[in-house]
Structure formats: C-alpha cells, structure tokens
C-alpha cells in the first residue's frame, strides 16, 4: 500500500515537472526578452572573439618577428622590410635646402618640386608626421598655406589618402648673416607667435658655441626672452634651473606662486625647445671646451624638451648622474648613427648612444641624420641601427610609437597619431604575414 502511494506521488511530481517545462517553452515562443543570462552569454561571446583576435595578433607578430630575424642580415631584404614598415614620425628633418645658415632672404625656403620630393619620401617610408627644422622669415610663413595645398593635390593625384601632418621648428644657430644668437632667437619667437605651424624652436648651438661660456650665454638668452615675452616668470625660470623641481610638459613649473608685479600671459603656451648636441661636431680635439656639460646646460638653462643626438653625454662631468636624471624626466632623446668619417675621435664613430640610453629606460626615437649622405633618410637610419645594435622587430615597433613622445604636439594630437599608427601596424602585419606565407608557398612549389 505504501509503495502504491509512493508511486502516485512520483507520477504527480513528474507530471508537474513536465507541465512547468511545457509552459516555459510556450512562453518563450510567444515572447523573447533579453535576460541577465543572455547578457552574460553575449559578453562571453565578445570575450571569446577578443581572445581569438588576440591569439591571431600574437601568431602574426611571432611569424613576422621570426621572419625579421632571418632576413635582417641581408641588406636588400632589410631595406624592403623597413621601408614598408610604419615608422610614425620623423621629428628632426633638416634637408640641406631647408636650412642655409649663412644666408637669410625673403626668398622661398624651398620649391614646389623640393617639397613634393619630401612628401613622396614620407609616403614611401610610411611616415605620417614630420617636423621640419628651417631658417624662416615672416614672409615665408604665408607660403606654407600655398605649399600645403599643393601637397593635398599631390596626394589626390597619386590616389593616396592624405594623412601626413607637417609642422616646423624655427632654427636658431647664430650663424645667419647680420644676426647674432639673441636676434635669431627673437625672430624665431616672433614666428612661433605668428603661426600655428611653428610648434617649437630648434637650437643648433654646436656650430657656434666655441666654449663653455659661449654656450651658457646662449642658453641664458632663452631665459631672458621667455621672461620678456610673458611666457614665464623669473621665479619659474629660477625653479626650472633647479634639477629637483618638477617641470611640466609645457616647460613651466607646477604650483609656483607668481610675482604679481610680473606681466605673465596665462593664455600663452611657452614654446618647446629642441636642443641639438651633435657629437659628430664636438668630438674633436679642438672642441672639448664646447663639449663640456652641454646636455646638463641644455636642461638647466635651455629648458630642453628634447635632446637631439645624445652621444656627447660622455663629455659630461657626471655622465652617469645625468643618465639617471634623464631617466626620471619626461624627456625624449633622439638618435641617429654618426658616420665614421664625421670625426677622428673614436668615441664618435657610430656612437649613436642607443645601448647606453636604453639601459636606463630613457625614451628614445630615431631621426634623420641631416649631416650624413650615408644615412639620408629615416629608413636608412633604422637599417643602420638594426645592424649596429641587433635590434628586433619589437624594438622597431616600440621606436615608431616613441616618435610621438618626441614630437612637439598636443596630447590630443598625439592620441590621434597613435590611433593612426595602430591602424597602420595592423594593416602592415596582416599584409606582411600573408606575404610570408605566399613566399613560403612559392618556394615549395618550384
């Protein structure tokens, strides 16, 4: 009897369960809403898709890295790879026709043909941003709008989307006929305030600074000009000359009280200074006085936001102290190989400084070597640095991104350029991975 009741209870339980299942099924057929479980499922699908994409990226990158290791000792294969690889920016482009320190006139700094050649070179080398160092006059600034319109037309004529951004650094060297360093600096600051295309000032002291006092005098002239034009107060300048004080990205100290008697224009953005410390010039027996502590002086007195060519760090009184100091600063050092013929001093022979600076984690970027026919463009510089330092593909990719840390652009512009570089590398790596497979197939089918 008990067993019969148990069987009845079991049957009723099964019937109730089936009724619930059928009802739920009918309800789901009539109306479908998104439940938390569904959301979790979709999130899981998204996560799976992201994981798959990440695995594909890793496979592509690994394939390209192995291929690069196999071909980097062959000059033509290396040149083809580097030329095709995105390189970001060249922030120290100074072709000889753009800078003639012995003559200043109202003539145009370059012709349409020269500019077109420059643009073609940038396209060929996958460069999206240029900073051109040039001696310029106010009359030449007007020329920029015309020449840039010509660039846009050139891009359309060859069927390539124009993503190239070109800005300028006004050059100051003290070598222009009829102008001393201070007058050149004033003219450069005039240009900086006149045109948005002038994003900074390039100090080229190595050609005129024949001694420690001369270089210091030039760097102090920068202080006087910044104060006179209302870019900074004397208190800020004094603090900027103290290594322990934090200097902001725009070259001004943070949190200092300003002297109310000083006329400071808060709306004015102080120019950034690129200071070239060219070891190919100073590393000769007659120029040790000019070499002494140039980088330290450029930081303390010249407020450098970037050091161009840093091999002369070996001529500092406290070389390793300066290295450690640079590692704590928001500053980029740009490098280019120095040809053996540039100096008789063995310290300068191909002494780019890559290993030395990278050992301290300092942000580095490669730039065109303006003084060398041996390395005439950024691709040639990358290729030589690969040979000299046995660089890997991951190193080259990091250096391309670093180029925008070196550029004198706003944080918003930097974000845009990095997004474009992300897209460029994704396209490059997809095409390169496919090319590697195609080449392998061609070899095996012959």
Out of 22-36, 173-187, 413-427, pick the least confident.
Answer: 22-36
Q: Kindly tell me if the per-residue pLDDT of 376 is higher than 80.
A: no
Q: What is the mean pLDDT of residues 137-155?
A: 65
Q: What is the DSSP string of 205-265?
A: GGGT--SHHHHHHHHHHHHHHHHHTTSS-HHHHHHHTSTTS-B-TTS-BSSPPPPTTS---
What are the respective helix, strand and coil percentages of the chain, to the nearest 5?
A: 55, 10, 35
Give the per-residue pLDDT at 323: 92
Out of 15-19, 81-85, 368-372, pick the least confident.
Answer: 15-19
Give the per-residue pLDDT at 255: 31
pLDDT classification of 95: cutoffs 50, 70, 90: low
- Identify the structural domains of the chain with CATH numbers, from first to last: 72-249+266-413 (3.20.20.140)
pLDDT above 90 coverage of the chain, percent: 23
Give the per-residue pLDDT at 164: 84
Quickly tell me which residue has 């109306």 as its tokens. Answer: 31
- Dihedral angle computed from the Cα positions of residues 284, 287, 288 and 292, in that order, rounded to the nearest 10 degrees: -120
Contact between residue 266 and residue 231 where contact means Cβ atoms under 8 Å apart: no
Question: Cβ neighbours of residue 319 under 8 Å, at least 6 residues apart?
Answer: 313
Give the per-residue pLDDT at 86: 95
Q: Kindly tell me if the per-residue pLDDT of 185 is higher than 60.
A: yes
Out of 128-132, 258-262, 276-280, 318-322, pick the least confident.
Answer: 258-262
């Amino acid at each position: 009897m008990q067993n019969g009741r148990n069987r009845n209870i079991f049957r009723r339980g099964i019937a109730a369960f089936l009724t619930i299942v059928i009802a739920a099924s009918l309800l789901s057929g009539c109306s479908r809403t998104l439940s938390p479980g569904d959301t979790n499922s979709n999130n899981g699908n998204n996560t799976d898709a992201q994981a798959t994409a990440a695995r594909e990226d890793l496979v592509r990158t690994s394939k390209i890295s192995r291929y690069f290791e196999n071909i980097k000792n062959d000059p033509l294969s290396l040149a083809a790879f580097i030329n095709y690889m995105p390189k970001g920016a060249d922030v120290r482009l100074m072709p000889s026709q753009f800078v003639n320190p012995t003559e200043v006139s109202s003539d145009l700094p370059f012709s349409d043909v020269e500019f077109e050649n420059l643009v073609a070179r940038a396209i060929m080398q996958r460069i999206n941003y240029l900073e051109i160092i040039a001696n310029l006059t106010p009359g030449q600034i007007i020329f920029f709008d015309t020449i840039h319109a010509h660039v846009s037309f050139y891009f359309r004529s060859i069927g390539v989307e124009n993503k190239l951004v070109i800005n300028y650094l006004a050059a100051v060297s003290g070598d222009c006929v009829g102008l001393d360093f201070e007058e050149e600096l004033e003219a450069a600051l005039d240009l900086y305030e006149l045109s948005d295309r002038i994003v900074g000032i390039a100090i080229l002291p190595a050609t005129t600074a024949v001694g420690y006092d001369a270089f210091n005098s030039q760097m102090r002239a920068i202080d006087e000009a910044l104060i006179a034009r209302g870019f900074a107060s004397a208190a800020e300048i004094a603090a900027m000359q103290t290594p322990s004080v934090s200097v902001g990205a725009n070259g001004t100290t943070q949190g200092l009280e300003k002297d109310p008697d000083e006329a400071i224009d808060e709306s004015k953005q102080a120019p950034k200074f690129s200071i070239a410390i060219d070891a190919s010039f100073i590393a000769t027996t007659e120029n040790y006085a000019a070499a002494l502590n140039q980088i330290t002086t450029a930081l303390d007195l010249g407020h450098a936001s970037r050091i161009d060519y840093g091999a002369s760090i070996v001529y500092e009184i406290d070389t390793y102290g300066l290295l450690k100091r640079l590692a704590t600063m928001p500053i980029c050092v740009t490098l280019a190989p120095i040809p053996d013929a540039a100096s008789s001093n063995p310290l300068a022979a191909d002494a780019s400084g890559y290993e030395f600076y990278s050992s301290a984690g300092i942000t580095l970027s490669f730039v065109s070597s303006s003084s060398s026919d041996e390395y005439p463009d950024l691709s040639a510089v990358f290729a030589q640095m690969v040979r000299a330092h046995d660089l890997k593909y991951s190193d080259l990719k990091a250096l391309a991104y670093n180029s925008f840390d070196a550029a004198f652009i706003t944080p918003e512009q930097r974000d845009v350029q990095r997004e474009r570089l992300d897209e460029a590398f994704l396209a490059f790596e997809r095409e390169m991975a496919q090319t590697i497979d195609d080449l392998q197939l061609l070899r095996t089918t012959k």
